[in-house]
Amino acid sequence: MSWNEIRGHRHQEHLFRRAAQKDRLASTFLFVGPEGIGKRKFARQLARSLFCERYGEEELQSCDSCPSCQQVTAGTHPDLLELRKPNDKNSLPIGMFAGSDDYGPGLCHDIAIKPAAGGRRIAIIDDADFLSTESANSLLKTLEEPPPRSILILLGTSEQQQLPTILSRCQIVRFGPLPPTDLHEILAGLELEEGTPLEDLVPASSGSVQQALLLHPPEVFAFRTQLLQQLATLNPLEGDFLKSLLGFLGEKETEAALKRAKLRFIADLAIEFYGLLLQQTSGLNPDPPDSVSAQALAQARERWAAPTVQLASLIERTELMSSQIEMYLNSANLLGPWLADLSNLSHGRTLVPIEF
Ligand SMILES: [Zn+2]
């Protein structure tokens, strides 16, 4: 693993390279960008380069063969702390930071221990979108006064998802979707089983490896087409579409993490669709990602007289649905009201506010 294998984030690499050359690396970072574009991989490569025994830190290179490089690759480096949200939890538990029977002494303790291999300690905290207020509070002092030479890297999808107390204490590094050529190369290198052809898959994947893998089975790709066509009817509730959505989720047999990923995919696709439609009706001329999307947008425009106001409400309602994914155990209770509201909003009806 070397920097050459990190695709699509050259600019961010240069930022870190310059800072390392001047010995001016910050201590706390928040990486933000869509899921499945390689932020975690980038953070691990940064750690590998800082730990590599063959190169000096200012060179920010990794040899891939020294014990340190191999330990980072194997996830066993004693000075690299990695944590992420457990699949069965809605947030990053406070025990991970402050210590508990389940999680040992906790990150705030572990990051302050003297580095085992010399140098420094590095922590990669994935799923920072799911930091609860109490977990964030337990982390604040460490973020404010990180142990000498330690580096903490939080990974999240957007700044809006972070608590202000976290945002104000981190240097923010923004990552964008992977360019199509990079995504194509990554997917071609994965030796995937037969499925949706890459020339169809890449444009539909929003520059995310994770989304491409989700869409790779032909039945999932076909579901995407169905969802876009249904949104274009302006009456998403029609034809018992809720049943199709639940069928796609595989409610009972799908593990919770995959189900949530599928729900986010549904929300993101709808937000992208309404967003493109809003731009088109506002006189802008955005490029739809692929022909399926272009066709659905054209259909919606034909059916819709003056949609600008409703479109903003449709996006807001879908963002609300997306933010509630972690709260609902039963997807029908999340998706049913959402579809009903979309149909109402699409026809210019106002919604009755629901108390939570
Ligand atoms: Zn090395």
Average pLDDT over residues 327-335: 88
Mean pLDDT of 258-276: 91
pLDDT tens digits, residue range 17-37?
999 999 999 999 999 999 899
Is the same domain home to 255 and 342?
yes
Average pLDDT over residues 55-77: 95
Distance 64 CA to ligand 1 centre (A): 5
Same domain, 230 and 148: no
pLDDT-derived band at 351, boundaries 50, 70, 90:
low
Position 103 pLDDT exceeds 50: yes
Q: Directed axis angle between helix 331-346 and helix 308-323, to 10°? A: 170
Q: Do 241 and 165 share a structural domain?
A: no
Dihedral-angle region of residue 355 (phi above 0 means left; psi in -120 to 50 means alpha; beta otherwise): beta
Residue 197 lies in a domain: no
Q: What percent of the chain has pLDDT over 70?
A: 95
Report the pLDDT value the prediction gives residue 283, as an integer from 0 to 100. Answer: 83
* 148 and 227 fall within a common domain: no
Residue 356 has pLDDT above 50, yes or no: no
Cα 117 to ligand 1 centroid, rounded to whole Å = 13
**Dihedral sign computed on CA atoms, order 295, 300, 303, 305:** negative
| CATH number where 35 lies | 3.40.50.300
Dist. CA 60 → ligand 1 center (Å)? 10
User: 205 in a domain, yes or no?
Assistant: no
| Rounded distance from Cα 326 to ligand 1 centre (Å) | 39
Q: Residue 184 C-alpha to ligand 1 middle, in angstroms?
A: 29
Across the range 88-102, mean pLDDT stands at 93
Residue 131 per-residue DSSP state: B
What residues sit around ligand 1, an ion, with C-beta below 5 angstroms? 52, 54, 63, 66, 69
164 and 249 housed in the same domain = no
* CA–CA dist 66, 52 (Å, integer): 7
* Residue 252 falls inside a structural domain: yes
Q: Is residue 72 part of a domain?
A: yes
At 271 the pLDDT is: 94
Task: Give every CB contact of residue 215 below 8 A, 6+ residues apart in sequence.
Answer: 196, 201, 204, 205, 221, 224
pLDDT at 74 over 60: yes
**141 and 257 together in one domain:** no
Backbone CA torsion sign across 9, 10, 13, 15: negative
Give me ligand 1 centre to Cα 119, in Å. Answer: 14
Beta bridge partners of 171: 29
Q: Considering the domain boundaries, does residue 193 fall inside one?
A: no
Q: Which residue has the higher pLDDT, 167 or 288?
A: 167
Question: Are 80 and 161 in a shared domain?
Answer: yes
In a domain, 188, yes or no: no
Ligand 1 centroid to residue 315 C-alpha, Å: 47
Between CA 298 and CA 304 the distance in angstroms is: 10
Q: Is the pLDDT of residue 66 over 50?
A: yes
Total domain count for the chain? 2
* One domain, residues 41 and 163: yes
326, part of any domain: yes
To the nearest whole percent, how much of the chain has pLDDT over 90? Answer: 70
Statement to judge: residues 135 and 13 lie in one domain: yes
Kindly report which listed range (158-172, 204-218, 276-290) carries the lowest average pLDDT score. 276-290
CA distance 17 to 79: 21
350: pLDDT strictly greater than 80 = no
Q: Do residue 160 and residue 45 come from a single domain?
A: yes
Check residue 306 and give its pLDDT.
Answer: 58
Q: Is residue 19 part of a domain?
A: yes
Write down the pTM of the prediction.
0.86
Range of the domain at 241: 217-346
DSSP class of 173: E
Phi then psi for residue 232, to 5 deg, are: -70, -20
Residue 144 sits in the same domain as residue 252: no
What is the pLDDT, as a whole number, of residue 308? 64
